[in-house]
Structure 1
Amino acid sequence: MRGREPGDGPLRRPCGPGDTVQVPGAEFSVTTCLPDLTTAGLLQAPEGQFTDRTDWITLHAPGTTNPSGVPGLQVDGYFPDSSTFNTTHGWDHDSQFVVRIPDDWNGSLVVAGAPGVRKQYACDFLFSDFVVARGFAYACTDKGNNGPDFYRDGDRPGDAVAEWHERVTQLTIAARGALGERFGRPPQRTYLAGISNGGYLVRWQLENRPELYDGGVDWEGTLFTPDGPNLFTYLPTAVRYTLGLATAEDMYAAGFARGSEPLWPYHQSFYWGVTQKTYRAGFDPEFDPACPGASAGASLPEIFAPCPSDAAYDAWFADPRSQPVHEALGRISLTGAIGKPLLTLHGTLDTLLPIGLHGDVYTRMITDAQRADMHRYYRIEGGNHVDSLMHLDPEHLRPMLPCFRTAFDALTAWVEDGEEPPPSGTVPRPAGNGATDPALLDTCSLRPES
């Protein structure tokens, strides 16, 4: 079992009803001894008490199987914060977190930040089930603000995203302290895992706080750069397409992959418009005060629909007068200068964060920063941004979760045993139905094309 140095011996401490774990810096927390820390067990408790199915059910492919039967402690709580977007548990308090500590702890910790604008339980099925079954402790944060109005947090443009960094760092230090109290010593290893905005946070932490971690897996992380590529250099084209003002050829020229067309109607309805307007509101609140972001809509269709003004935002972003926006982005942007091992996965059919504008570019940034020896990059043929969309094109799509699991095991073997991961490259899609074939739902080899 990975996570312990030779000679450490077993770290077993069965939990009891009276156990309490102090999370350093938390304003409030509650500890519960549970018979099963995985989603299969957590869903047996009253709804919303220990997980939130609505926050993770849309992130994995139907038919995916996960381990279960992992007893241990769960700690739910929050750190001091002034914003109140997160209403989970009726706390109306942001910077909520969850920490899970299996009775049979392997001596290591996995930390995650929620993807998108989701909350602290968003990665329960993707990450938590898998790692706690292997003995890892697990911790995840809501990043300090969440929901489609997250951009309203903070005083300056970019503050809402900048807080994400602080909250992941804060939880990492606190979870290490909590484990030290529980077992008499801190974790031997600390890893990061993240998808989408969570993948961005894996990158940022390894660039800026590498001393806290031993490595990370970045699953389709968002790329923020001051001048592009970034969300603002291609999403306006998607907005124009949604409004009937752009063609498919315009979409390809903007960076969307040929072959991703079956995914476009879904993204028109649920991703492109709301993503462009909420992030534009976060970094450029004065651009269109009449359409500030998700608050411009009262119903779900209105919230997800684009602001018509965003169709021209890429032209404004290229205008010298938008320099304050570039400066705000610069405060939270990536450099590629990672300080610990990183494995990156990105699907070739990602239709929210196109691979050519995110994964490919970040890999070049790492090379330019002379850190390529610490990085592996796997372009997953047929992968898209959300595994639950397999049904939209089952003959060409494949789920990414099995590839994450393989990558995580490869990372721990690299860090702990010196076993080199497979070389970077494009991982071919096996033949089969991505929505039903066990060979695609349950397994993934990271061996690239020869």
Structure 2
Amino acid sequence: MSANHDFRTVQDLTTKGIGVHSDAASLVLKCPRIEKKVPGKEWTGQIGQSQAVIRLPDKEIWNGKLIIAATPAVRNEFSMDLLLSDIVLQKGYAFAACDKGTPRLVLRNPKRQITEWKEHYYQLTLKAQEMLESVYGGKAMYTYIAGVSNGGYITRIMLERYPELFAGGVEWSGVFWHPDSRHLLTCLPVYVQEYPIYANWRGDHTDRERIMAYGKLLEAGLHPDSEPYWHQYFKTYWVYSLWLYGRNLDSDWEPFQKEWHNDWLRDPSPLLYPFQARADILQQHIEKFANTGHLTKPLLSVAGNWDCLITYIHHAKAYEHLVKQAGFAENHRLYEIPRGNHVDGLLKTNQGSQQTVHPYFEAAVNHLEKWVEKDTLPPESGSYETIESFAPIGCSLFTG
């Protein structure tokens, strides 16, 4: 890697200075509070096949730390700007993120694989560390990683595979990829098939059929109290995610070979995926990038128990179980957030009884700092009803 970097000098690295990308805005209910400008340098460019952004506060502001932001879904390198960048920049952190090399519809090409993600984040981390030495004249005292959804998976897999690069991590509703457990390609098909029956869109299903469909939805991980939000997730995530990840992980199944069509949101029957009959194919692919639970560095997990996409039982709890099986429970905490869903941004139009998870994510970053830097143990795993019961004492949150 070259030591010459084409930085852009910026008067304010927060979104108040550089603007808000739509990929970032759609993920939050409210923007974090910005109390001050953060002048510094920004680099944007390509690292391998990924697009990346690296932000370095001025030397007198830098706190000696670096945080790597793991982006969710198939969103771009700016998608963590409101979830994380605005918060940590004001604390003096250097910040780096990339698009995992597969933004938007790249994964519809089966030649591009989820296995790339960790390699892109490995290269990003090395590049960011190189830039720190170039600008500040020294390495970061602590390098952390934090991510959301499939960025939560990245956080887990990077700590598992490259623990030497990181002091610890925080993940929010990380996707659990494991060939021997429930995962997206075994849960989404149930949601897509059974929800239209339960909702009785055509009006031709019996009460018994609807009750049976409801039971299957709960068995696939959905919380019964999250039912008012199922329709929103069907239209926004369930069908599209099944097609995109299914196309990538089982490209030989003929319906997945077709291009996306909005008609599937009205009639998803062409995408009724027989995941049980295709289990061997899915296992073969997922084994290549599966989580192991081998955590030698601290990891704090937060997850809403009303999550309608990455369900609490089949993702957060399943990963906690894997970590325990691997013998590393002392390095992991799981925090259940009552009434928390997957995407805080969807609360803008349909909040109901849901609570935002964003403050818990920020508070978990603070707990991680204290755990790593001051050997102060974080709260025990468990359910935390309010942010006041979870945030560190005396801690003022930018998301509060």
TM-score over 0.5 for the alignment? yes
Q: Which secondary structure state, in structure 1, belongs to the residue aligned with residue 41 of structure 2? A: strand
C-alpha separation in 1, matches of 2:45 and 2:197: 46
Shift of 1:29: 6.2
Matched, 1:72 2:48: no
Q: How does 1:24-423 map to 2 (within 5 A)?
A: 24=1, 30-43=6-19, 53-62=21-30, 64-81=32-49, 95-103=50-58, 104-152=61-109, 154=111, 159-244=112-197, 247-288=213-254, 290-292=255-257, 295-297=259-261, 301-302=262-263, 308-317=269-278, 322-391=279-348, 394-423=351-380
> Higher relative CO (CA 8 A, sep ≥ 6), structure 1 or 2?
2
C-alpha separation in 2, matches of 1:29 and 1:244: 56
Instruction: Letter of the 1:125 partner, please give it.
Output: L
Shift of 1:314: 2.6
C-alpha separation in 1, matches of 2:263 and 2:136: 50
C-alpha separation in 2, matches of 1:236 and 1:259: 21
Deviations 1:195-237 (A, max 9, x none): 0000000000001100100000011100001132111221111
Higher share in helix: 2
Instruction: Letter of the 1:101 partner, please give it.
Output: L
Instruction: Letter of the 2:257 partner, please give it.
Output: P
Shift of 1:186: 1.1
Deviations 1:404-424 (A, max 9, x none): 111001001100000110111
Deviations 1:113-142 (A, max 9, x none): 211000000000111000111000000011
User: Which stretches in structure 1 are left out of the alignment for 5+ residues?
Assistant: 1-23, 44-51, 82-94, 432-438, 444-450
Instruction: Letter of the 2:190 partner, please give it.
Output: T
Q: Contact 2:243 / 2:260 at 8 angstroms: preserved in 1?
A: no
Instruction: Letter of the 2:68 partner, please give it.
Output: V
C-alpha separation in 1, matches of 2:265 and 2:122: 31
C-alpha separation in 2, matches of 1:391 and 1:160: 33
Deviations 1:9-64 (A, max 9, x none): xxxxxxxxxxxxxxx369x9641111110011112xxxxxxxx5211111001365
C-alpha separation in 2, matches of 1:71 and 1:314: 51
C-alpha separation in 2, matches of 1:243 and 1:29: 53
Instruction: Letter of the 2:269 partner, please give it.
Output: P
Shift of 1:292: 2.4
Pairs aligned (count): 378
Shift of 1:68: 4.2
Q: Contact 2:45 / 2:53 at 8 angstroms: preserved in 1?
A: yes
Instruction: Letter of the 2:225 partner, please give it.
Output: G
Instruction: Letter of the 1:40 partner, please give it.
Output: K
Q: Which secondary structure state, in structure 2, belongs to the residue aligned with residue 271 of structure 1? A: helix
Q: Contact 1:217 / 1:344 at 8 angstroms: preserved in 2?
A: yes
- Percent of aligned pairs with the same amino acid: 31
Query: TM-score, normalised on structure 2?
Result: 0.89
State the superposition RMSD in angstroms: 2.4
Instruction: Letter of the 1:348 partner, please give it.
Output: N
Which residue is equivalent to 1:448?
A: none
Instruction: Letter of the 1:377 partner, please give it.
Output: L
C-alpha separation in 2, matches of 1:41 and 1:305: 41
Name which of structure 1's ranges 405-414 and 301-310 shifts more when overlaid on structure 2: 301-310
Q: How does 1:13-28 map to 2 (within 5 A)?
A: 24=1
